[in-house]
């Protein structure tokens, strides 16, 4: 093993660019690599218990990547296989999207109709223990591995939740997770509703099928479509582009910029097939409202930003998460059974706005009672996050404590959201606003609708 590690370090040394600024820079580089090797040898020979060389090296790799930003990570063979299955839309586990934050596992969002969602896990929850063992000191990869297991086996997670004074345990039974990333239905007789829970390999096709079904069911009576991206943590860039393309005739969808030329790209909407009556915009101009919140991230923000910049949709809800960086998956090993996810570029909307830290600001802000009562944690709150490379926006005081008058207003909203009845199903205030908006837009002449958008 020592020979392997030494060989790896020597390869790194030889790979040092010849164009280094000074010989001193090269000397410092070699010195740091030598320091790493000496520390590794001390750990192997003097640590109180015998250590596994492989685990120590993986921990060093993971630590290096974690020091860069919250989204760069190492995927060992077990985790890499799980990630690939997840992106393909099927995997075993609890059904939650997570990330590490201050040493704890933060739930970005539960996936609809999975064991985690049915058990009441919420976006913004923190998992402090798994089966009674603390997650502090674990990597995200290690924590995820602990949460996965055989279908039908139980797991107990300890939850920290804003508004709850004490941690509490939730028992969840693991299941095979089939990610139906797109669902649709008709609201209020004439409004199409499309919900995207994640962006996997089936998402673009699912949205296109949903649009065709809504067009067939409602035809000329389709007054508008609601695209619900709330609590959607993102996923594949290609699928975000395909979803955006389904609603656009032309123009840029998203661009990426990084240090290397191959990471600088632009993607554009396609014009469809006019000769056969197939528009690029599958809705042919029908008004759209996109619902977003603080847990709409990454690919969700690409779609919302593209439709907003082209004035194709009204964005309604809360400011989005603000994850505006690209993670490239770089396969490693002779068999390609492991990989690193390395942040290699930033996303930009068609107008050139960087999503990073800022997120997408809604055209119409409609906050839920919970969002108004609690500060929502976003990308900018994560330790080590990459900063926005454009002029910063001063958000000081935007989450100040509520005044007495605002607290009274909040209680009234909370009562309205629960229909004022004990145990009643909550009213989706944002959805109701979207339906009302589309109903109003449908009564306007097309020129005025375009102006509203």
The residue among 100 and 400 whose pLDDT is bigger is: 100
pLDDT for residue 30 is more than 50: yes
The pLDDT, as a whole number, for residue 297 is: 94
- pLDDT tens across 420-442, in order? 455 555 789 999 999 999 999 87
pTM of the model: 0.71
Which of 285, 350, 290, 286 has its CA nearest to residue 314? 290
The pLDDT, as a whole number, for residue 384 is: 81
The pLDDT, as a whole number, for residue 232 is: 94
pLDDT for residue 419 is more than 90: no
Separation CA 51–CA 60 (nearest Å): 13
What superfamily does domain 182-389+409-452 belong to in CATH?
2-enoyl-CoA Hydratase; Chain A, domain 1 (3.90.226.10)
Marked catalytic residue, from 228, 244, 323, 354: 323
Instruction: For residue 46, count other CB atoms closer than 10 A to its CB.
Output: 7
The pLDDT, as a whole number, for residue 258 is: 92
pLDDT for residue 452 is more than 60: no
Marked catalytic residue, from 244, 298, 300, 354: 298
- pLDDT tens across 164-180, in order? 999 999 999 999 877 67
The pLDDT, as a whole number, for residue 124 is: 93
What angle is formed at CA 135 by the lines to CA 150 and CA 144, rounded to 5 degrees?
35
Average pLDDT over residues 206-231: 96
C-alpha pair distances (Å), 236 with each of 328, 335, 349:
11, 23, 16
Question: Does 244 qualify as catalytic in the annotation?
Answer: no
- pLDDT tens across 223-250, in order? 999 999 999 999 999 999 999 999 999 9
Average pLDDT over residues 177-189: 88
pLDDT for residue 50 is more than 80: yes
What percentage of the chain exceeds 70 in pLDDT? 82
Question: Does 323 qualify as catalytic in the annotation?
Answer: yes
pLDDT for residue 202 is more than 50: yes
Q: If pLDDT is split at 50, 70 and 90, which confidence band does 23 have?
A: confident
The pLDDT, as a whole number, for residue 389 is: 77
pLDDT for residue 278 is more than 70: no
pLDDT for residue 40 is more than 70: yes
pLDDT for residue 379 is more than 90: no
Question: Does 309 qualify as catalytic in the annotation?
Answer: yes
**Residue 59 burial class via C-beta count within 10 angstroms: exposed 0-12, middle 13-18, buried 19 and up:** middle
- For the chain, the average pLDDT equals 85
Q: If pLDDT is split at 50, 70 and 90, which confidence band does 19 have?
A: low
The pLDDT, as a whole number, for residue 177 is: 75
Q: If pLDDT is split at 50, 70 and 90, which confidence band does 396 have?
A: very low
The pLDDT, as a whole number, for residue 397 is: 44
- pLDDT tens across 96-130, in order? 889 999 899 999 888 888 899 999 999 999 999 99
* Domain segments of the chain as ranges: 2-51, 90-178, 182-389+409-452
Least confident of 59-68, 137-146, 422-431: 422-431
The residue among 257 and 375 whose pLDDT is bigger is: 257
- Asked whether 363 and 318 are in contact (CB, 8 A), the reply is no
Separation CA 3–CA 8 (nearest Å): 9
Token pair 């970005």: residue: 108
Pick the CATH number of 90-178 from 2.40.30.20, 2.20.25.90, 3.80.10.10, 2.30.42.10: 2.30.42.10
3-class secondary structure, 35 = helix
The residue among 367 and 352 whose pLDDT is bigger is: 352
Marked catalytic residue, from 69, 228, 309, 318: 309
The backbone region for 294, taken as left when phi is positive above 0, alpha when psi lies in -120 to 50, beta otherwise, is: alpha
pLDDT for residue 2 is more than 80: no
The pLDDT, as a whole number, for residue 194 is: 98
The pLDDT, as a whole number, for residue 214 is: 97
Least confident of 190-194, 267-271, 291-295, 401-405: 401-405
- Asked whether 95 and 114 are in contact (CB, 8 A), the reply is yes
């Amino acid at each position: 093993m020592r020979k392997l590690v030494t060989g790896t370090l020597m390869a790194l040394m030889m790979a040092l660019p010849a164009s280094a600024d000074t010989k001193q820079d090269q000397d410092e580089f070699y010195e740091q690599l030598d320091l790493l090797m000496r520390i590794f040898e001390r750990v192997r020979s003097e640590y109180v218990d015998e250590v596994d060389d492989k685990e120590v090296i993986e921990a060093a790799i993971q630590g290096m990547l974690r020091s860069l930003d919250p989204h760069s990570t190492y995927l060992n063979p077990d985790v890499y296989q799980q990630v690939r299955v997840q992106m393909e839309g099927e995997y075993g586990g609890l059904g939650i999207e997570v990330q590490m934050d201050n040493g704890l596992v933060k739930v970005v969002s539960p996936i609809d109709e999975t064991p985690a969602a049915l058990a009441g896990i919420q976006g913004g929850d923190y998992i402090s223990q798994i089966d009674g063992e603390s997650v502090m000191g674990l990597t995200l990869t290690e924590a995820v591995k602990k949460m996965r297991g055989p279908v039908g086996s139980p797991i107990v997670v300890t939850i920290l939740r804003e508004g709850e004074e004490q941690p509490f345990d939730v028992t969840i039974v693991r299941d095979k997770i089939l990610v139906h990333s797109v669902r649709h239905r008709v609201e209020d007789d004439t409004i199409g509703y499309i919900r995207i829970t994640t962006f996997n390999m089936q998402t673009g096709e699912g949205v296109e099928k949903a649009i065709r079904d809504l067009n067939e069911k409602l035809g000329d009576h389709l007054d508008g479509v609601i695209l619900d991206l709330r609590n959607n943590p993102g996923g594949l860039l290609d699928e975000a582009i395909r979803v955006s393309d389904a609603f656009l005739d032309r123009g840029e969808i998203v661009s990426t910029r990084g240090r290397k030329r191959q990471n600088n790209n632009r993607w554009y909407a396609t014009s469809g097939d006019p000769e056969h009556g197939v528009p690029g915009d599958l809705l042919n101009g029908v008004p759209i409202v996109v619902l977003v919140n603080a847990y709409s991230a990454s690919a969700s923000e690409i779609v919302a930003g593209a439709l907003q910049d082209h004035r194709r949709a009204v964005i309604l809800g809360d400011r989005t998460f603000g994850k505006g960086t690209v993670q490239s998956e770089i396969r490693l090993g002779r068999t390609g059974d492991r990989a690193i996810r390395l942040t290699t570029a930033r996303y930009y909307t068609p107008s050139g706005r960087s999503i990073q830290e800022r997120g997408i600001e809604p055209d119409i802000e409609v906050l839920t009672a919970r969002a108004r009562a609690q500060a929502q944690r976003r990308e900018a709150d994560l330790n080590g996050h990459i900063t926005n490379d454009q002029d910063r926006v001063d958000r000081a005081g935007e989450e100040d404590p509520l005044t007495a008058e605002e607290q009274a207003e909040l209680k009234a909203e909370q009562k309205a959201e629960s229909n004022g009845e004990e145990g009643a199903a909550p009213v989706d205030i944002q959805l109701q606003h979207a339906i009302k908006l589309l109903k109003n837009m449908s009564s306007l002449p097309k020129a005025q609708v375009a102006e509203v958008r």
